[in-house]
Structure formats: structure tokens, C-alpha cells
Amino acid sequence: MTLNQFLLADEMAQVEAVWRAKLVKEKADQEFTYTLYQIDDFFVKVRARKKDMSLCNFECFEDEQSALTEQ
């Protein structure tokens, strides 16, 4: 899957792609868990509420360094 294909996919297809992705890094604060995944040649950062693990948003990056330095 390419980054463009991911961005054009519906939410369910995006969730399925992330579910199959390679876990790169995870961190948390008091309210959220931030998880970075690699899908083929791009990265997706997922933010989820710790209270109920509900998905808040995805952020996509073309390289790992950008994903790791993004606040």
C-alpha cells in the first residue's frame, strides 16, 4: 500500500492497514497513547484515548524521522 492509497482509503480500510502494520514505537501521557506504525514505505502515528482506547486520529509521514520529531 502506498501513502496515497492509504489517504484515499475509507476509515475501515485505514484501520485494517494499521492493524496489520509493523509497530515501531509507542509512548503515552496521562490522557493519550501515541503509537507509530510502519506500513510499507510510510509511517502512521495513531493517537488513542487511554481511558477507553478510542481512536482519536491518524497522522501520516513519509519517513520515520519526521514521525518521531513531530510533536
pLDDT tens-digit series, residues 9-40 = 998 999 999 999 999 999 999 999 999 999 99
pLDDT for 69: 76
Q: What's the Cα-to-Cα distance from 44 to each of 30, 32, 51, 63, rounded to whole Å?
A: 21, 16, 21, 10
pTM summary value: 0.85
What is the spatial distance between Cα 21 and Cα 18, in angstroms, rounded to a whole number? 5
Which CATH architecture fits 3-66? Answer: 2-Layer Sandwich (3.30)
User: What is the average pLDDT value for the chain, to the nearest integer?
Assistant: 91
Cα–chain center distance at 69: 14
When pLDDT is cut at 50, 70 and 90, the band that residue 46 belongs to is very high
- Res 71 pLDDT > 70: no
**How is the chain split into domains, by residue range?**
3-66
